[in-house]
Structure 1
């Protein structure tokens, strides 16, 4: 169980190239983010590596870890290592997690999402995942109910030592998800679609977490 307030985990849209850099820099410049997931569209390995090299430092220079996922098949271990990322993020597949753990050793983190059941979550934790992400949008864009994500994150945070991330589809849900004792609250579209810009959204989320920590 977390002893301190949750930290923010930022998820980008699926990126075709490095043109997203200014928006990412604005978000990371708030200094409120613990980790960033770069979601990359499928490309050849050199192109993916170059994207990571261009984007990762924008987060890392502000103290955020950078993880990489790719839409489609790619050698994530190579892309992360050569691009200078801090880790990789994959859908829930224990065999793939074990393979990545063998290749990356303890040098880079492995995060896992798209987790369907509690049994799957436990298998992924045993396979060597460094964190589990609950509640992110499904491939069709739909979302699990807030109640189900709160229940799953609370269950995991209470029983297991491996950190978990709870996805917040809106700023209004940050408080409830942080109350689960999840180590991280993830934000995606709620940041990028905010009418006042990414920095304003992240500052508002950080204030919610600060208030919650102060009330503990």
Structure 2
């Protein structure tokens, strides 16, 4: 018996629904952490705000801090997608300009919804500064992003002669440059779409990192 041709599409729809549910839970957790703080927020609170059963919450996440990981990982995923698109559309794209262009695009909020999303990230990073469990989630998200970056960077010009270790070093440096830019911005009240927002800070960090790398 042949497999129905619609099976891959059905699976894709299932995955999209799963991702949407995870993001809804993450948004609810971020709202509550901003309102009450992580310590005063329970998994039950998050499930109630998201409109799901507690067992559904634990089907997706191990604990309340882990619930925000989809929200925190969105920017990194978008950055890698933009880098991959540049590599595919512009073979041999300059590494520095590709990294900066992708970072600026992924960190520049579009419309009111984009600004609100960035403000949610700011609230989470502020909470993470004082909450070890939440900070561990943030570091894990960045580590996972870093580990997915080398194959994307390999296709950009200027990196063809690097060893695997050197490529991992570039990936770590670029990922941390953006992480530090976001943390620096989160500690301020600068608007997400302003001249001192995360996009501008990320460009500054990346250009300084790559200039230092080129000299050494």
Q: TM-score, normalised by structure 1?
A: 0.25
Higher fraction of strand: 1
Bigger-Rg structure (1/2): 2
Q: TM-score, normalised by structure 2?
A: 0.25
Higher fraction of helix: 2
